[in-house]
Amino acid sequence: MKLARAVVFRSYGGPDVLELVEVPEPTAGENEVRVRVRAAGVNPVDCKIRQGAFATAAADHFPQTLGNEFAGIVDQVGAGLAGAGQVGGDQVDADQADQPGTAASGVSVGDEVLGFTTAAAYAEYVVVPAAHVTRKPPALSWEVAGVLSAAGQAAYRALRTLRLAAGETLLVHAAAGGVGTMAVQLARAQGATVIGTASPHNHDYLRTLGAIPVSYGDGLVERVRAVAPGGVDAALDAVGGAAIHASLALVADPSRIVTLVDQAAAARYGIQRLSGGRSAATLAGLAGLAAAGALRVSIWRSFPLARAAEAHREVETGHVRGKVVLTVD
């Protein structure tokens, strides 16, 4: 039996429960591809899974794996594809983030791809449906390609959920984070004015993305009103709690507030939860924008796979600008 490296955890807890072990090497099944991972993104949801935030007595099993996004090289193609599986999809236009475009087709051994999975990417190999990968543009580094899917697709779906239009004003909470960074840029490309909350040391960074920065904390509502005398049309929340209450005070229609994290508030106040699924079509468009320099992807820190625990500690500081990535040699 061939073995491959993967990060697992055998109980819920802090970052130290993560360990690099050898597991049976996975094999691509029908209509699947196996990807030799070169980079995998680390996201706050990974930390929550590791902590047991989604634990249920009926579903818990160990060891568990992590990681929802990756980039790498196809090294095995399953039955039913034979080099002709679908890879790629709609183009996301720089001027309008939901603009349809052309599709790429065909996936073969040796193709460089990026894609998405569910809690499986912290590994040397990942097996996914062929429809969950798209070609990596040559201009993208492995690190950038490996962190594009989760934050990029969440931001894209959030703006669609909000029905954001040119000329409107959008408030983005945690605008310097992974999703915030993407949302600011996609909203600006659509012709919206963007106000982003962040700590003062990230204000210059937000200005480079085209956002108007404001500090979070007490007095946020007044600070936003001062820079947006015409009002705020929509809000994207990646924080929860006080950010929800500020959004409700600033946005007239609660249905034009979307939260990524506070599901209880969504039910209580009539605001929206993030809707829509991931797709290779959306990911292909985002990758094209990033390759063309129209979408900036910030890598905060990079760690080798064996140091996944350190990567989690970094994410849990709450002060990451952009994304944290694991690399696989």
| Interval 109-132: pLDDT, tens | 999 999 999 999 999 999 999 999
**Amino acid letter for position 309:** A
Residue 128 in tokens: 């996914």
Fold of 152-273: Rossmann fold (3.40.50)
As a whole number of angstroms, the distance between CA 32 and CA 14 comes to 33
Residue 169 structure tokens: 């004003």
Residue 254 tokens read as: 């609660």
Alpha helices, DSSP H, located in the chain: 44-51, 142-146, 148-162, 178-189, 203-209, 220-227, 242-250, 263-269, 280-291, 308-316
Domain boundaries, the chain: 3-149+278-327, 152-273
283 pLDDT exceeds 50? yes
255-274: average pLDDT: 91
pLDDT (0 to 100) of residue 276: 77
Q: Return the biggest CA–CA distance within the chain.
A: 66
Q: Which of 81-90, 234-243, 276-285, 287-296 has the lowest mean pLDDT?
A: 81-90
C-alpha–C-alpha distance, residues 199 and 264, integer Å: 26
Residue 49 pLDDT class (50, 70, 90 cuts)? very high
Is the sign of the CA dihedral 35, 39, 44, 50 positive or negative?
positive
Predicted pLDDT of residue 275? 75
CATH topology of domain 3-149+278-327: Quinone Oxidoreductase; Chain A, domain 1 (3.90.180)
pLDDT in tens, 159-216: 999 999 999 999 999 999 999 999 999 999 999 999 999 999 999 999 999 999 999 9
Integer Cα distance of 150 and 279 in angstroms: 11
- What are the tokens at 153? 């697709």
Predicted TM-score of the model (pTM): 0.90
- Round to whole Å and give the CA distance between 305 and 123: 8
d(CA 62, CA 5): 17
Strands 32-42 and 69-77: antiparallel
> Would you state the torsion angle of the CA atoms of residues 196, 156, 301, 259, taken in this order, to the nearest 10 degrees?
60
Residue 210 contacts residue 188 (beta carbons within 8 Å): yes
Note the pLDDT tens digit of each residue in 136-175.
999 999 999 999 999 999 999 999 999 999 999 999 999 9
Alpha carbon of 184 to those of 36, 37, 171, 211: distances in Å?
32, 29, 9, 7
Instruction: Taking the CA atoms of 133, 73, 304 and 206 in sequence, report the sign of the dihedral they define.
Output: negative
Confidence of residue 58 (pLDDT cuts 50, 70, 90): low
Beta-sheet strands, E only, within 15-150: 18-24, 32-42, 64-65, 69-77, 112-116, 125-129, 133-135
Rounded-to-integer distance, Cα 213 and Cα 221, Å: 13
Output the pLDDT for position 92. 44
CB-CB contact of 256 with 162 (8 Å): yes
What band does 262 get if pLDDT is binned at 50, 70 and 90?
confident
Question: Binning pLDDT at 50, 70 and 90, where does residue 86 land?
Answer: very low
